[in-house]
Each structure stands twice: as structure tokens, then as C-alpha cells.
Chain A
Amino acid sequence: MTGIESIRRVPTGISGFDQIALGGLPAGRCALVAGTTGSGKTLFAVEFLARGVQNFDAPGVFVAFEEPPADIRHNVASLGFPITEWEAAGKWTFVDASADIADEAPTIGTYDLGALVARIVHAVRRSGARRVALDSLGEVFSRFSDTGSVRHEMFRIVSALEPLGVTTVLTAERPEEYDGVSRFGVEEFVLDNVIILRNVLRHERRRRTVEIVKFRGAAHRTGEWLFTIGPQEGIVVMPLAFLRPRAQVSTDRVSLGNAVLDRMCGGGVFRDAIALLTGPTGTGKTLTSVFFAAAAVEAGERCLLYTFDETREQLGRTAAGWGIDLDAMEATGLLHVVSEFPEAASPEEHFLRIRRTIDEFAPARVIIDTLSALERIVTSRALLDFVIALGAVLRHGEITTLLTSAPTGRVTPTVTPAIAMEVASLTDVTILLRYAESQGEIQRGIAVLQSRGSDHDHSIRRFTIDSAGMHIGEPMRGPSDVLGSAYGPGGDLPSPVSPGGEGRQQQDRWGPPDPGQSSDD
């Protein structure tokens, strides 16, 4: 086997999958896609062919064992692909091996799948196909009594296809999640490339993941990756497009809508920045969001404001309290406010909706208030994937973004929300809002924890909120003066320190920004 680098890849075109596969499926090989019922195997096979025709002008052959071609045709069309035209043009060919009269036939003596192999080879040659999908094998192999013959027939199919130079996806059923690869337990020994799709019920939510179990001789990313299935998008592997390198970074600055905050961040944030604003309820997250939106409109830029916390009416009333007229801003066409209940959809569906809205509205700025509302419906890991995926879309569009998040308790500022700690490493600017106790009264403090690529103000500043918005004042000085002794002494970078030992661990992860971070990405 030659070096890892030399294995040519065939991009599937499936959103995000090629990123985990580091380019795509190994060219000219067969890959097994195994999953339980409803895990998306057929969709994977369908998309592999359809995106091949559409994106790469690669004709495909679909071998239908389980669902008859009419059903598959319907699925392909529902994703918006012109399957009828493709069939007429010879770009898509069905080999119909679905259960029918052939199933009724009694079997006497030994046999093999020679006719099937011949039909597939014929279809590939006639159409000049470069991709083949077989869905799914269990249907046919359940007729074979022993694994020896299953293995032999698998080998036969694979060895007939590989000399043709086609890249093949075979799907197979798995009886249950996390136990063996496939129903017959033999496919993984026959095939060099194995992908598992999972569909697990966890915390009363469906969770779909894709894992590349092996790519013999080819590098790939390991572990389970969250994906979702959109009615129009098909399979979308969530966080991965994030890994796409950015061709260029912006040096253009954007105002956050507050002159002092802009100064604290080093003169506004970069146009392609993702800023995370974190603080407990009532510290001014929505306020900052609304002012950021107003600054966008004032600059003549389109702004999408997504709220998971309030209805559109509530938000309008809140903004009016600070003298901002959201209705008037929306009337200019520059602002688009979307209010959704977190529970109305899964995080993956929310992601797809946001992405669709971004595609349609083409905003220069996006605000999401708050991510924490999504925490109600999802594990933090899934939420992190959501943010990473979102980050990919936002960075790609060079959209200035403000995300907000809250710790769970109103007066427990020492506990930095778990999500914020993880998300902070993905964002460019991190701003902290806190309640602070000073001179016998509760005050609010604001600090910029990091601002990549910029010098930023290291002090914690006092601020007040009134009907004209946020007023940031002088740095807080003196001994620890934040409820629960959240901040370290002096004007140094605040670190969340809780009374227990766990706070110390958090501090390490959260810590002051690593000097290396300012120049990366």
C-alpha cells in the first residue's frame, strides 16, 4: 500500500461528510454504510448518486433491493433532483432487484448472484457510471443460510465492481445500535471502508450520528458526528464545514453599538468575528443585542435577530423601553426578527432553519439571543455541535455575529455556563457580564475576556442600564467585589472560581486567553 496521501478521494457531495472523510470516499472502492432502520442509509446512497450527477457530472447506477425504483425515484425527486431527466439522459440507471416474483421462486441446490453481478456490470458499462449504490444488502442476503456464502457473494460483487473503476456505496442493516457492524457480522471483513449511521434516542430526543469506522489506508476523522436530515438539504453533518479554512480574514471593524464597548474590544470587532456575550438574566444581553441590531441598521447593513427567549411582541416592547423601534427598523427591510420557541424543533432543525433564513435574507450581521434557551432541549455536546455548525455558515458568509448565553441561575454568577466555556474557544470575542457587589449595593460589571487579533481592555468596568441603554463607566478596583467572589483581585482577567475544587479545574480550561490564539485561524 502506498502512502496515505496517495489515495484519491471521491467527494460524496453530502454536506459535511466529506470533511470527516477528509475529502470523500476512497476512489474506486466499495464503502459499507450500515445502520438500523430509519438511520438514513438509503438517503446516504441516494445522495451519493444524486450529488454525483449534479455536482460532478458522474453518472450513477442505483441497485434497488429493498424499495422498488418507483419509491426511490420519489425520494430523489422530493430532494429537488430532476431524476426523470437524469434517467432519460442515461445519467441515472436503476437495476431493479427489489422483491417480486424472484422472491417467490423456490430454490433447489446451490446458486449465486451471478445474474445480479452481470446486470450491474452491464448497467455501469452502458451508462459510463462512475458511482454505484446498492441498497440494501440484507434483503438479498437473508436468503443465504450461512455466513460463508454471504461473504463469498459480497466478495463477488465487490470484486466485479472494483475493476470498473467505480466508487460504490453498499448499505446494510444493523439489528441494533452499538453492537456489531451489520446484521450478518461479515460485511466489515469483506469491505475496507465502513461507515455507521446511528439513530439513538437519548434524553427523549432523536440523535443521529455518523461514524467512519474504518477507511483502510486512508486518513479520516474518528468518532461520532452529529447529523440531521432536512427535507430539502438531505443529510447535513453538523459541525464540519467549520474546518474549512478561511481564504482571507477581515481587517474591517464593525461597531457593537456601544462606543465604550467598541473601545474595550480594541475598536469594534472584526467583520468576520463571532462574539459571545455571556451573563445572567438581567445583566443586559438582550439590550446589547438590540443595540447591535440598531447599529447595523444605522450602518445600512442587513441584520438577522434570532430570539429564543422572547416573542416578537415582547422583544419589541423591551426594545421600545430603550427607545429603539424594532418595527420601524424592520420596515426599512434591513432588520429581520425571528422568534422561535426552542422546543419547537430539534437543535439540528433550528440550525437548518437559521441557515435557510441566512441564505434567503443574506444578512451582514446575525444575533442569537440566547443559546442557553437551546440548552433546555439538548445536551451541551449537541449544542456545541450546533454552534460549530453555525460558525461555519457565519464565517463563510463573513457575517458579524453576536451570540448570547446565560448561566442557569440568576444569582449564581460564579458558575460560568458550561456552554459558554466550550463555545468561548470557538468564538473570536468573549464578553462577560456579571452582577457585582460593591459598596453595599449590587452593580453590574462588564469585561472583555478575549478579542482575537486585537488589543483589548483588561479591566472589569462598572456599567448601568437606563432608558437610553448601557452606560459603561470606570474600571472596578479593589478587593474581590463580585457576588460569590467570582473575579480575581485587581483589574486582572476574571476567572470563574467557585468555592469547591472544581472551580480550579474550570479556571484552567477557561483561563486567560492563550497568546497563541490571537494569531490563529
Chain B
Amino acid sequence: MVRDPVAYSFTLYVAGPTERSEAARANLRYLCETRVPGCYEIDVVDVTERPELAEEHRVLATPTVIRHTPPPERRVIGDLESQRSVRALGLPDQGGPPQKRQER
């Protein structure tokens, strides 16, 4: 499959350098690496430093990840610690290690 280098673009909103922020960042990166390696970009916004961006995008909870491309926009709240994130973010199922059992 041929993919556009930035077929998947995400903004991850976190609040400060907390454990939860780090977990979300690591989980999102892992998901992308395993599902869409090489054709994603993740922009991390720390809302404590850039509150106006949170305001503009009406983000309440942290972590929140917004998938900008491909459309339509999708949002997922939480640290993405479950494999349900794959579906929620609209990532392809194939690629990466076999993980069929986790679909609950």
C-alpha cells in the first residue's frame, strides 16, 4: 500500500509533563508506529503553555487527541491505554504484531 507521508495527522493535547501526559504520548506514538509507520505526524500541545489553542479547539479534558487527517475529524479523550484506541482513531487494523483478541 502506498501512503502519503502525512496521511495521518494528530494533535495531542496534554496538561503539563505528567505521567498521564507521557503515557498518552507514548501510546499514541506506539499505535502510529505499529499501524501507520512513516506516514503520520503528531503535534503535542501542552495546554498549560498554549491555553489559547485549547480554547480555540474547545478542548476540556486532557489528554485529548484530535485526528485532523484523514477527514472527518475524530477526537478521543484519555491516555489511549487500551487497544480500543485503534478503532477510535480510525487506524488500520493490519500491520504490527497480531492483536486480534483485544477487540472487545
Contact = CB atoms under 8 A, between A and B. Distances in A.
Contacts of B13: 115
Contacts of A122: 51-52, 55
A114 B82 CA distance: 21
B100 interface: no
A108 interface: yes
The secondary structure that dominates the B interface is mixed
B81 A114 contact: no
Interface in B45-62: 47-48, 51-52, 54-55, 58-62
A117 B54 CA distance: 10
Interface in B1-58: 13-16, 18, 20, 23-24, 27, 47-48, 51-52, 54-55, 58
A116 B60 contact: yes
B80 A109 contact: yes
Nearest to B51: A122
B91 interface: no
A117 B77 contact: no
A107 B81 CA distance: 10
Interface string A127-147: 000000000000010000000
Contacts of A108: 76-82, 84-85, 88
Nearest to B13: A115
A78 to B, nearest CB: 26
B55 to A, nearest CB: 5
B60 A140 contact: yes
B64 A105 contact: yes
Interface stretch (A93-101, A170-178, A193-201, A417-425): A93-101
A295 to B, nearest CB: 65
Give the size category of A's interface with B. Answer: 20 to 34
A1 interface: no
Given A102-B75, A118-B51, A122-B51, A112 B15 contact: yes
Given A104-B75, A109-B78, A115 B20 contact: no
A113 interface: yes
Contacts of A111: 20, 61-64, 77-79
Given A108-B85, A119-B51, A122-B52, A114 B78 contact: no
Interface string A437-467: 0000000000000000000000000000000
Contacts of A96: 58
21 contacts: A96-B58, A97-B58, A100-B58, A101-B73, A102-B58, A104-B75, A105-B74, A106-B88, A107-B77, A110-B20, A110-B79, A111-B61, A112-B20, A112-B61, A115-B54, A116-B61, A118-B54, A119-B54, A119-B55, A119-B59, A119-B60
Interface of B: 13-16, 18, 20, 23-24, 27, 47-48, 51-52, 54-55, 58-64, 73-82, 84-85, 88
Interface of A: 95-97, 100-102, 104-119, 121-123, 140
Given A112-B61, A118-B47, 8 more contacts: A102-B59, A107-B76, A111-B63, A114-B61, A115-B54, A121-B51, A122-B51, A122-B55
